Amino acid sequence: MISFADFGYSGKRALVVGGATGMGAAAVELVKQAGGDVIVMDRANVDRDDVTFIQVDLADRDSIEAAADQVSGSIDAHFACAGVADGTPGIERINFIGHRHMIDRFIAKGQITRGAAIGFISSFAGAGWEANLPLVKEYLARTDFDDATKWAQDNGKADYMFSKLAINAYVASQAFPLLKQGIRINAILPGPTDTPLARANADMWLGFGADYREETGIQPSTPDEQAAALVFLCSDAATAITGFTLVTDAGYASSGITESFPPAAPVVGFLRGPLYS
Ligand SMILES: NC(=O)c1ccc[n+]([C@@H]2O[C@H](COP(=O)([O-])OP(=O)(O)OC[C@H]3O[C@@H](n4cnc5c(N)ncnc54)[C@H](O)[C@@H]3O)[C@@H](O)[C@H]2O)c1
């Protein structure tokens, strides 16, 4: 039976991978407020004394395994938040392969187990995962860190959009096998969100959908607005939800699909469509 307490994290242990800044840091804050214990992993240092910090470089297999092995005991909520923009070497590993490798390791060791939930921060850039499923599945079939890295690099898919297509298809495809083990997995697909990463790529990231925000009188999301959806998905209150990619873009995609805001239709149609011949 669900009660309102199931929205909380009292007695739970969360791991936030990529929790130094932006939406990951906001997730750390919300889980702490909700009563949870938090371990933060990031390449960047985290200077707060109410969490356990473990350094990790998601582009590096040895670093991921060493970081994971510093965690003892079980993880109730695993937040995969770290990500980088195009132009960052190792993007295919940082955004997807590295997160998957760490999750696989925790599941294999029984640390992510029955009752646990996994939450990714993906992007609407990966909204075309259904239209591009055969190719993305070919990639997902490379479950080994090095094999997957080689496939992405050899096939010209070591980029932001493909990393987000992969996350979305991975989340959907893992609903069934993980639920057999009692584990849920979901993702949010944020619209423009005011974080250090978005500011560093402001023209493209924070310019996207500016006309929609102007007409609706809204601002880009704040990191905590996005983290709130993610923290909900990994709470027991979301027990009925798994394999789901939740578009958290303040309605931009829906308005483009339905053409209730016609200027959004072309870009939304492009992102949801077949991208590779
Ligand atoms: N900000 C947006 O508008 C927006 C929109 C859609 C999706 N996203 C996604 O949101 C996620 C979070 O990004 P954010 O906007 O909060 O930016 P951010 O830069 O504040 O957060 C990303 C975090 O990842 C960490 N990180 C980067 N490289 C790493 C590595 N090699 N190993 C370990 N940690 C590493 C950073 O140190 C940082 O703490 C990303 O996956 C991004 O693709 C962002």
Domains with residue ranges and CATH for the chain: 4-272 (3.40.50.720)
Question: With bands split at pLDDT 50, 70 and 90, how would you rate the model's confidence at 133?
Answer: very high
Q: CB–CB of 165/128 below 8 Å?
A: yes
Task: Tell whether the model's pLDDT for residue 250 goes beyond 90.
Answer: yes
**CA-to-CA distance for 44 and 232, rounded, in angstroms?**
26
**CA-to-CA distance for 109 and 107, rounded, in angstroms?**
5
- Ligand 1 in reach of 40 Cβ (< 6 A): no
Q: How far is the CA of 2 from the centre of ligand 1 (A)?
A: 32
Indicate the DSSP class of residue 52: E
Task: Tell whether the model's pLDDT for residue 149 goes beyond 80.
Answer: yes
Task: Tell whether the model's pLDDT for residue 146 goes beyond 90.
Answer: yes
Kindly report the backbone phi and psi dihedral angles of residue 195, in degrees, each rounded to the nearest multiple of 5, phi listed first: -130, 170
- Ligand 1 in reach of 26 Cβ (< 6 A): no
Task: Tell whether the model's pLDDT for residue 277 goes beyond 80.
Answer: no
Residue 23 CA: which ligand 1 atom is closest? 16
Question: With bands split at pLDDT 50, 70 and 90, how would you rate the model's confidence at 117?
Answer: very high
Kindly report the backbone phi and psi dihedral angles of residue 198, in degrees, each rounded to the nearest multiple of 5, phi listed first: -65, -40
pTM: 0.98
Residue 164 CA: which ligand 1 atom is closest? 43
Residue 26 CA: which ligand 1 atom is closest? 16
Q: How far is the CA of 169 from the centre of ligand 1 (A)?
A: 19
Q: How far is the CA of 227 from the centre of ligand 1 (A)?
A: 12
Task: Tell whether the model's pLDDT for residue 196 goes beyond 90.
Answer: yes
> What one-letter code names the amino acid at 21?
T
Question: With bands split at pLDDT 50, 70 and 90, how would you rate the model's confidence at 26?
Answer: very high
Q: Residue 158: its pLDDT value, please?
A: 98
Q: CB–CB of 192/164 below 8 Å?
A: no
Question: With bands split at pLDDT 50, 70 and 90, how would you rate the model's confidence at 41?
Answer: very high
Q: Residue 249: its pLDDT value, please?
A: 98
Could you give the percent of the chain with pLDDT greater than 70? Answer: 100
Query: 122, 115, 117: which is closest to 78 by C-alpha?
Result: 117
Task: Tell whether the model's pLDDT for residue 60 goes beyond 80.
Answer: yes
User: Which residues in the chain belong to E strands, given as ranges?
Assistant: 13-17, 37-42, 52-55, 77-80, 117-121, 184-190, 244-248
Q: Residue 57: its pLDDT value, please?
A: 98
